[in-house]
Amino acid sequence: MLSEWQNHKTQLRGYVSKRIDDADAVDDILQDVYIKASSNLHQLKSTGSLKGWLYRIAHNTIMDFYRGRQPYEPLPDDLVAEEEDEGIQAREELAQCLRPLIDELPEKYGIPLRLAELEGVSQKDIAQQLGLSLSGAKSRVQRGRVKFREQMMACCDFEVDQNGIVDYTRKDTGSAPKCDPLLEQK
């Protein structure tokens, strides 16, 4: 291995030095390449592919070098807590906006939908609370979503982009009382 290494060492040094601007790091990388090649020589399938194999090891070692150098600052511990708090607050605000519309749905669909979407109860627990089978609870939540969507579409025009709903405006529905709770929020 040592004689083959000497044949390719100069070319490998040029390859590495074109990609790394620190001369000391070039020597370290070449040393790592030699160690990796020596320890994994049993993986080389034929001696004719030694040069390509050495270059692949050199390339991977260079990538490892750059991955290790990437500076980063750890996130502050309180950052995650703030995001969680904001998410909970946003969910509560949305729940206050949507609750009156969900309450307008027939009770057999409104209750499972409110439990699932606003209170975060699992469908299994909804089934137990309401004395339904799991498939019955899933069906009621799904039908509640469909009815809720129909109600929303009857009351509002939505502006949608690739990120979802960005805005909505009141439809001219005359005196449709079922739209009043939603439209009072706008």
Could you report the per-residue pLDDT of 108-136, keeping only the tens digit for each?
999 999 899 888 899 999 999 999 999 99
Amino acid at 164: G
DSSP 74: P
pLDDT top residue among 105 and 81: 105
Question: How far, in Å, CA of 128 to CA of 136, rounded?
Answer: 11
Q: Which two tokens stand for residue 50?
A: 């030694």
Instruction: Let me know if the fold of 2-69 is the same as that of 99-185.
Output: no
Question: At which residue do the structure tokens 């809720």 appear?
Answer: 148
Question: How far, in Å, CA of 185 to CA of 182, rounded?
Answer: 6
Taking CA atoms, 49 is separated from 44, 57, 147, in Å, by: 8, 12, 66
Amino acid at 152: M
Question: How far, in Å, CA of 140 to CA of 158, rounded?
Answer: 25
Q: What is the CATH number of domain 99-185?
A: 1.10.10.10
Q: What is the CATH number of domain 2-69?
A: 1.10.1740.10
Question: How far, in Å, CA of 135 to CA of 160, rounded?
Answer: 32
Q: What is the value of pTM for the model shown?
A: 0.46
* Domain ranges for the chain: 2-69, 99-185
- Residue 22 has what pLDDT? 85
CA diameter of the chain? 91
